[in-house]
Structure formats: structure tokens, C-alpha cells
Amino acid sequence: MKTHPAIGRLPWRLAAMASALSFALAGPAAVRAAAGPDACTPAWPLWQAFGTHFIQPDGRVLDASTPRLHSSSEGQSYGMFFALVANDPAAFDRMWRWAVDNLAGGDIGARLPAWYWGKREDGTWGVLDDNSASDADLWFAYALFEAGERWRRDDYLRDARALLARIEAEETVELPGLGPMLLPGRRSFARPDSLWQINPSYLPLPLLRRLAMVSPSGPWARIADNTAALLAAVSPKGYVADWVAYRGASPASGLFVVDPIKGDLGSYDAIRTYLWAGMAPTSDPLAAPMLQALRGMAAATASAGTPPERVRAMTGQTEGTGPFGFSSALVPYFTAKKQPWLADLQRRRAQALLDESLRTAGPGRQPPYYDVVLSLFGLGWAEERYRFLSTGQVQLSWEKTCPPTVAR
């Protein structure tokens, strides 16, 4: 999901790339038909590039850099959010329909989406791991709620409510001495000896606020508070690990600990935690404490000029140079920390390397999926294409010029 190897030439990919390019070029016309004037669909070259390189005509988001030529619930859900930001309802619908049909067995009310789909050992295609990924499930629900309101799609709102009910029932847990928390998936993360694994990057504060708004009796407001407590507890040097754990010391108490299975490494997962903290609105009372807990990344990047690729959360030891997606992810973080010179430095580095990556991509060679995704989030935010409100709802730039019948 988050590796960056070059891929070999794939003859079958030529046709798919051509079809995807045709879709990307045809997309604006379809959007105009659904959404009205051109002002409602501001140009977003990076979104068009994402559609060209990663979205197949049927709505599958393909990461061709891996042997399984896989798709993930993460890729589908992120793509839907970007389609919302771009006001591209046709692409949004294709990606959601593909996810329901292929990851959820055609019924989102009956099961959570499988997280991993691709080419099997016998050459057939299908689900490779039917466990869920709760971060993708949150982004699915979030995108559906926001799109359903804007595009007057009651079916999206129904799907969002059905999915949210399953998330609450299957992916949340009551931790002793803490309260509710989101587990990374519906199974395998509640370990023996009262140990639970948690992924901090699965907990974007704006999404938790939005879900609390639509499910006020649910666990989301308390999960937001517990996320802030988690970051304060596991980041003694100002860095967060990819994975952390919570151990129940007794039926009424527990504490956050280094994950005994994954360790204290912070890298390709953890970079999103800084991104989410940077995009949280300053009006949210948890935004400042979260930024303070994550202070180490600012010091490391200021010292080296580039973000580290790997960090040991317990010692603060850093290694390597992060790819351009890391720089993109940190633009909102440095902006929120009122360090505009660092934000600008990372934005310029990210944009230059992104442009080069897109320029050299071609048939059989995708740009690095994860770096492009982080750039859509970070650089799209820097371009003020979207902002999160204190309610968790998203404010979109295209709504300023769209007629009231389109925008919420």
C-alpha cells in the first residue's frame, strides 16, 4: 500500500491506461451535465492525473506497483473524497459502486468492505483478505454523508448510515479505564492478555467530529477525546509510531504502551497523523493539544530541511529522507504550527518532485500511489480547495460559485 518500487511493463495496462485517460478527459463534460456551469468544476490538474493513472473505467482504484496489482478500501475511499473535492459525481459514483460490488459483496448493509482485493495465486481476481480497514470505512462513511447532502443523493445517505452502524458494532471497542476506541479492523487487533493494537493515523479528528454529529449517541466524541489522550501518552519525544497498543491492567484501568508486535517505528502510516492534525480547524479544542504532542516532526524537518523517513517514537532517533508525499503531508501541519517558511519549503519540494514523477510516468509505470495521495490531501488543502469546519463538515471551494441547487 505504501511502497514505491518501479513496476515492470504490463502490456494489458496499455488499454486500461488509454481508457482511464479517455475517462479523465471526458470527466468534466459529465460533471457539467450533473452540476451546472463550468464554475462548479474548477480545474484540478492533480485530480485529473490521479484519474488518468489510477482510476480504471469501472471505478477501481488500481495500485499497479505491487505483484497483486491490488486495490484497497483505502484507495477507493480516498478517491471518493478527492472526487467530492473536485465536484466529480460521476467518478465518485463509479468508485463507490465498485467498492460495494467487489469489497462488500454487493451489500454494504450486510458486511464491512474487505480491505484488500487483487490477483490471486491461481490467476483469478477477487478479495485477498476479507478483514476490514477502519480508516477506509470512516472515509467511506464521511464521503457518503458529505456527498449525499450536496448532490441530493438519499441512497448515499442510506449507505452511509448502514455502514456507520456496522463500524460502531464491529470496529469499536470499550477499553478498560479509557472508554471507546476505534480498532484498525473488525478482527485480529484484540490480542491475548488484554492487549489491543491501535493505529493513530486511522483517527482523523474532523472525521470523528462529523460522525459524532450524525450519530450523537455513538462513541465518536469520546473517541476524539481518547485520540488526543493517546497522542499525549505515546509521543514522549514529539513523534508518533505507526502502531501503538493499549494494555488493560485491570477491568477498570489500563495504559498505552509500545506495540510489542510492531514496535515504536513511525513512518509511512504515521505521517498521516501529522497531516490530520494540521488540517483540524484551530477552533477545535483538541487541535492545539494534538499539535503539541506531535511537535518533534517540526524540529526534525527544520534541522534537516526535509522530513525523516523513519522515526523511533521512544528515543526520537530519525533515519533517512522522506519521499515527496511526506513533504506534501506536512504542509498543513507547518501551516497550523505557524511556521510558514517550513510549509513553503515542503510545498515547493513536493510540487517539484510530484511534477517530475508525473512527467516520467507512462504506460506500465504509475507514479507512486501513496505520494500522489498524500499530495492530493496536502497540496489540495494548501490550494484552499477544501477546509474542515469545527463540526467536521468539509467546506469546498467550488461551492462558492455553484448554484444553490447543487451546493448544500
Q: Where are the beta strands (DSSP E) in 98-150?
A: 116-119, 125-129
Active site residue 74: yes
What's the CA gap between 286 and 294, in Å, rounded? 13
Closest to 297 in 3D by CA, of 260, 262, 329, 252: 329
CA separation, residue 408 to residues 106, 140, 145, 281, 317 (Å): 29, 19, 12, 20, 47
Q: Are 115 and 133 in contact (CB under 8 A)?
A: yes
What's the CA gap between 366 and 370, in Å, rounded? 11
Written as nine digits, the cell of 157 is 445517505
What's the CA gap between 408 and 404, in Å, rounded? 7
Question: What backbone phi and psi angles, to 5 degrees, belong to 54?
Answer: -125, -25
Identified catalytic residue from 63, 93, 135, 146: 135
Q: What is the largest CA-CA distance in the chain?
A: 60
What's the CA gap between 142 and 149, in Å, rounded? 11
Single-letter residue type at 161: R
Q: Where are the beta strands (DSSP E) in 285-361?
A: 310-312, 318-319
Closest to 406 in 3D by CA, of 170, 147, 210: 147
Strand partners, 263: 259
* H-type alpha helices, 151-269: 154-170, 205-214, 220-234
Identified catalytic residue from 63, 74, 264, 284: 74
What's the CA gap between 386 and 245, in Å, rounded? 33
Single-letter residue type at 48: Q
What's the CA gap between 304 and 170, in Å, rounded? 43
Closest to 86 in 3D by CA, of 153, 138, 32: 32
Residues known to be catalytic: 74, 135
